[in-house]
Structure 1
């Protein structure tokens, strides 16, 4: 009887483990984006205002979603291929970087009216924000601007004006302002990761990502000191020691990789790509990982945003012949 009981208990635990690994993300909502054409780029969140912002690159708009009502409410026009978006809740401003005219525009967080424009150079793209210094980091330049170098612009978020520029060897890709005194930046053309000092704005180190080109995305495990670098060729997530830059692991992942995120609470990595899937990897320990799910999204659904406070992953799916553009809302399962 006791053996039977142990077997039943063990079987139940096994079933629970299978269920957990089978569904780490559950699709809870699909939010249509009416009359939005072309590619969708990056997303931003206003937690207190319950709003999601989506850069509709080819539509030249920023789309606004009411997350309480789970519906599209409006768009903001007047951009020229908007790519990078960030909402700064401490100063209640939305920032939009546009690639075709090289501008970074500041918008009033309540009315979404443009309150300032800073002219950078063509290719203005990904952004991140340092709430301590109230500075915005914007990558721009490179081949898009006809240059063999790029720049990481630092913009004072209060005035909206550029206060400093860090020259880079090519156009900067993903930017990650960490909790430490460092900023990580990838240079896709060179397969490099730059490590910047947040106070001096100097490049402290340059790490070469071996065996992978087109470094496009970044995520970090601040506690275990692991930096996750997404590459497109081959499609992989390469795990580096964030102190030394030494590679400790790598995983094959979704094609046309764009967004990667580390979920500290669930110890998972979420990676979205244009192949039409989100790959989910589980962190066994800082140096070992396993694939636990290949979640379907939609064709060319490259960009996404993970919001740990909501335990939600938002995936942007562009328009297709059989459906409108939409945002898929996935809930993290324990």
Structure 2
């Protein structure tokens, strides 16, 4: 299995979740190494420290690893089933969205201490920062965006999502202060004004689990498990247009973006029907990364 993927254009590396490890590959496609963990969901980097951070869902920890040797340096207990993880450049903290305990852990990578636990009373999916002191978190159960103060670590407000349900993927255009919210159940991308929670646009997408925004191209992309990427252009702060569905592969439901090359990366695997029902079963040895670009 897999979840999030992180593309780092500066180092020409791609970090992808893959069961009980993260795989690290170069943008040329060569394998660089791997880091063992337990039920990885996401990866964050703090290059000033030369370290990476893994949300390990099965061990309920942030696993810290060295970016040069890929050795695991420490395991820090956080909430239950940490899922999404990211580094907030404003507060210089790492935040994990903990699905089972329905809270967010705030971790200081410079002191390696947990500094706050923020109760959310909802299953958090993805979090982003506006770079000015606010954190936005998708609340999947109630279809809301929870706004957190990145100084006090207190909840500021909640915005009910108008136009979509069960949000998962999330990204932000910091210049226009617009949130791009992927709502898989209703197959809609909702574009929200982050200052007041108002919906300023919607676009048709698929059964998405990931959303990224390219500030250079003014394009938002939603990765859909059916095997497409829905591309939505931000014409202005209040005008958005659906561009196209880019063909990928069924199962390619999460996405990472290289902001240097503007290429997209999606984990995928070949699958077959599961005799027990439910999700299709992965064919062993078929896990791979799809690269999309012009």
Same fold (TM over 0.5): yes
SS in 1 for 2:170: strand
Could you tell me whether the CA contact under 8 Å between 2:24 and 2:33 is conserved in 1? yes
Residue ranges of structure 2 left out of the alignment (5+ in a row): 272-282
Counterpart of 2:215 in structure 1 is 264
1-side partners of 2:214 and 2:13: how far apart?
A: 21
Structure 1 runs of 4+ aligned residues shifted over 3 Å read 45-49, 319-323
Summarize the Cα distance change of 1:253–1:141 in structure 2 as closer, same or farther, 3 Å threshold.
closer
Matched, 1:75 2:27: no
* Residues 209-236 of structure 1: per-residue CA shift (max 9 Å, x gap): 1342211121112222211111112011
Matched, 1:231 2:183: yes
Bigger RCO (CA 8 Å, 6+ sep): 1
* Residues 182-206 of structure 1: per-residue CA shift (max 9 Å, x gap): 1111110111101111111111110
Counterpart of 1:62 in structure 2 is 22
User: Which protein has the larger Cα radius of gyration, Structure 1 or Structure 2?
Assistant: 1
2-side partners of 1:211 and 1:310: how far apart?
A: 32
Report the structure, 1 or 2, having the larger helix content: 1
Q: Determine which of 97, 106, 125 is the counterpart of 1:154.
A: 106
Q: Determine which of 315, 318, 323 is the counterpart of 2:266.
A: 315
What is the count of residue pairs matched by the alignment? 283
Could you tell me whether the CA contact under 8 Å between 2:256 and 2:266 is conserved in 1? yes
SS in 2 for 1:213: coil
Matched, 1:102 2:54: no
Deviation of residue 115 (structure 1)?
Answer: 0.9
Counterpart of 2:125 in structure 1 is 173
RMSD (CA atoms) = 1.8
Deviation of residue 287 (structure 1)?
Answer: 2.3
Counterpart of 1:93 in structure 2 is 51
Counterpart of 1:42 in structure 2 is 4
Counterpart of 2:134 in structure 1 is 182
Summarize the Cα distance change of 1:247–1:48 in structure 2 as closer, same or farther, 3 Å threshold.
closer
1-side partners of 2:145 and 2:56: how far apart?
A: 23
Summarize the Cα distance change of 1:201–1:121 in structure 2 as closer, same or farther, 3 Å threshold.
closer
2-side partners of 1:233 and 1:327: how far apart?
A: 25
SS in 2 for 1:41: coil
Deviation of residue 71 (structure 1)?
Answer: 1.6
* Residues 8-30 of structure 1: per-residue CA shift (max 9 Å, x gap): xxxxxxxxxxxxxxxxxxxxxxx
Could you tell me whether the CA contact under 8 Å between 1:183 and 1:197 is conserved in 2? yes
* Residues 31-54 of structure 1: per-residue CA shift (max 9 Å, x gap): xxxxxxxx2211123444322111
**Under a length normalisation based on structure 2, what TM-score does the superposition of the two structures give?**
0.90
1-side partners of 2:131 and 2:103: how far apart?
A: 22
